[in-house]
Chains A and B, each alone.
Chain A
């Protein structure tokens, strides 16, 4: 079952940018692309836990601010020669509001 939690307005995140949602088990980065899609990923880079929310967003990827790994926002996979993956969570936009699936909280508490 999915239950969507209303997080914030789409405009609260700049286009090609991100903000974090804090949970008791760490931060989730919520990204907004130039085309106004949103993606939610764990905020810790698979390399050395760099805060992905602070990276440069291009297309549907983000470049980690610490050592430039490029992470896919869709799959959480590191691109190119780098190997690693971060968790991704369902997210969507409806009527200008960003919604996250509650299951991500449950998944995180189970982890």
Chain B
């Protein structure tokens, strides 16, 4: 006798299963029950419906004619409310009881809604079905929408609405978009493409509350206080297998409904397919494996042997103009070889991860034409040793063009400024070349590019090379590190002229050869970015050397030294007492007076740092930045306060300078000295910036050193008032940090750009430099000790302390 089969859910998985059963003419009397008031449709095509590229009618996979032709009874807009497994019946929400011999669950999943305050307001929706899609389509072009979630679904929702003229903001909690499928570099390109479509993208953004008015959503509030007004809020932050019904029916359920390799649940008469299942610990969110499950379930129902096997998955995004692809495991590391290809001109990024002659992962952006071929290599574990050299170029490659080291410069737009000193753009240089200036000297003479400080020389030469081709040979210059062919100076200019404000942006636009840098380039880039874009860029502690990450100097035995500021070398009995108390309390083995007029507590244990800082803070002391590429000390002498020769208040000026420069990051350490008269007891003339007070004012000189090289400072300018002296010093500090190569002290930088250039700049642009300095200081002039002692103390403790017994 024909058995009764009931299918719960007309989704993508059960749709495919029904096709298989029908094709094989299976002997079942089938009833299909669906909660949504419609039959099977291609859910993944809701995105093209949203963007207007398709209509709903076009994405219906099975219509009424199909069901009746195959004798499938349908009940749409009906939910199954309960199951009696002993009696083998299901009960609908309207109370009908239907008997079954075999039952199939295809209940899909539920969108996860973050339980933020206000999540139940009218106008807060998910993106799952036609109703949600229609809500979004109904939003007129004069409206605003916020999408929480920068994954596949959220971005398709955002792009679809943006295509309809809606003002869309995407809020994503992680540092880059689609972090589960893409690495940072591809995430950067994707973000750029979405921003070009008019979408606002906020990464590393934490939602705090959904604000409403009269029961309707009004705005999203982020935890940094930003309010994003919106008429509709879409949450696309993940899905949870829909298991409630199965759980109530007493089936074995974990994250999803447990099934075996034949898609049978803990009850032999009940099967499950699709996003509602858990197989071998895994749950599913893409259709490819669901289709495999559907065939297996159909075969099981027809009593043929079949086994479901999990396979490698790949991802694409259905947004026009954002061609991306990712598959496999693309984390980098040793034993794994990373092949990276970037074409900044075309916005192309390709990365293959290879282990033991097999491709195990791939990420591609911009040009994904060959993605299926690469995916095939991953799935088939093809031995690629024969084609290794040319693999990255794809299957069509036949001894074609090698990687172009000039690609980054070739890609620069004509209006990108190459020479900052003289405001010369690439277009003007190209014009000069075309007019016959074919070497550096001629370019300097005709355009003035690279004729001033000379730090853009490398880029000018590359413009020459990319315009003239083989007729111009670039003199070799040392690159930052193995990750790039560019010099520090080239990279700095690229950051400024292309307004690159993140590390992935630099990696892509400058054609980095590695996926994410190394311990040599990352600290340099971190400095360049924060120096040039103090407001836009967020400091990355993980790209800093330990001393700057933990705000203390690491010692050879792994302990730390703690040096509080002693402004201008002046202290008080109270401070000294607090230092003495701290030394006792934390059993500091060595207390030493430094060469920089302050006290060093050496040998403090890492775990004690936040505590000793809190104690020193309580006595009014702050971090001395003795560990930093930044302002160190301002050494002073006693000056007019006590000395019979003093001409100005050198101690007072030193304290003012230390207080105003405090916290500033610079390319290398920055030390100052202020002496009250030319006897120079503060050794000002061997500091990076030295001030010698004289009767008529202040002599400011720069470029001194007394370490590996000993240099005397050279006079920059003499000014009359203390106010002018402070302004000049801020200006020179800013000029230094905007232009010097990472790890060049002032004297090294000065040797490259020349004292005259520095003088001119400080004279002509003093006020603008001071203004930029102060802007940056609004972010960086603070005490990291206080901040870490209050907010990050936990991170200084061990993750766990284990004893053998505890683990047994």
Contacts and interface: CB of A to CB of B under 8 A. Distances in A.
B798 A75 contact: no
A75 B336 CA distance: 12
Contacts of A93: none
Nearest to B336: A60
Interface stretch (B317-325, B405-413, B518-526, B721-729): B518-526
Top 3 closest pairs, chain A to chain B, by CB: A60-B333, A35-B331, A19-B799
B554 A66 contact: yes
A86 interface: no
Given A19-B799, A66-B554, A56 B519 contact: yes
A58 B795 CA distance: 20
Contacts of B516: 34, 58-59
Contact of B519 (A14, A24, A58): A58
28 contacts: A5-B802, A5-B807, A7-B800, A8-B799, A14-B542, A14-B795, A19-B799, A21-B798, A21-B801, A21-B802, A22-B800, A23-B804, A34-B184, A37-B333, A48-B556, A55-B546, A56-B519, A56-B545, A58-B516, A58-B522, A59-B514, A61-B334, A63-B519, A66-B556, A72-B335, A79-B334, A102-B807, A105-B802
A59 B523 contact: no
Interface of A: 5, 7-8, 12-17, 19-24, 27, 30, 33-35, 37, 48-51, 54-61, 63, 65-66, 68, 70, 72-75, 79, 98, 102, 105-106, 109
B538 to A, nearest CB: 13
A7 B807 contact: no
A109 B798 contact: no
Contact of A23 (B332, B542, B802): B802
A57 B541 CA distance: 11
B800 A60 contact: no
Interface of B: 183-184, 330-336, 338, 514-519, 522-523, 541-546, 549-550, 554, 556-558, 606, 795, 798-804, 807-808
A65 B515 CA distance: 23
A30 B331 CA distance: 17
Contacts of B333: 33, 37, 59-61, 72-74
Nearest to A32: B542
Contact of A72 (B183, B334, B338, B518): B334
A50 B558 contact: yes
A65 B184 CA distance: 25
A73 B332 CA distance: 11
B331 A33 contact: yes
B667 to A, nearest CB: 18
Contacts of B336: 60
B332 A59 contact: yes
A109 B804 contact: yes
Nearest to B517: A58
B546 A65 contact: yes
Nearest to B543: A56
A75 B803 contact: no
Contacts of B798: 19-22, 27
B339 to A, nearest CB: 14
Contacts of B514: 59
B540 to A, nearest CB: 8
B799 A20 contact: yes
B554 A54 contact: yes
B518 to A, nearest CB: 5
A43 to B, nearest CB: 8
Nearest to B796: A19
Contacts of A27: 798
Given A54-B550, A58-B522, A105-B807, A7 B799 contact: yes
Contacts of A75: 334-335
Nearest to B797: A19
A20 B543 CA distance: 19
B556 A56 contact: no
Contact of B558 (A15, A19, A51, A70): A51
B503 to A, nearest CB: 11
Contacts of A55: 519, 546
Contacts of A16: 542-543
A8 to B, nearest CB: 5
A22 B801 contact: yes
B542 A56 contact: yes
A59 B541 contact: no
Contacts of A79: 334
A54 B381 CA distance: 37
Contacts of A74: 333-335
A59 B334 contact: yes
Contacts of A23: 801-804
B554 to A, nearest CB: 6
Nearest to B540: A16
A60 B542 contact: no
Contacts of A21: 798-802
Contacts of A8: 799-800
Nearest to A54: B546
Contacts of A20: 798-799
Nearest to B521: A58
A50 B559 CA distance: 10
Contacts of A73: 333-334
B542 A57 contact: yes
Contact of A65 (B517, B542, B554, B803): B554
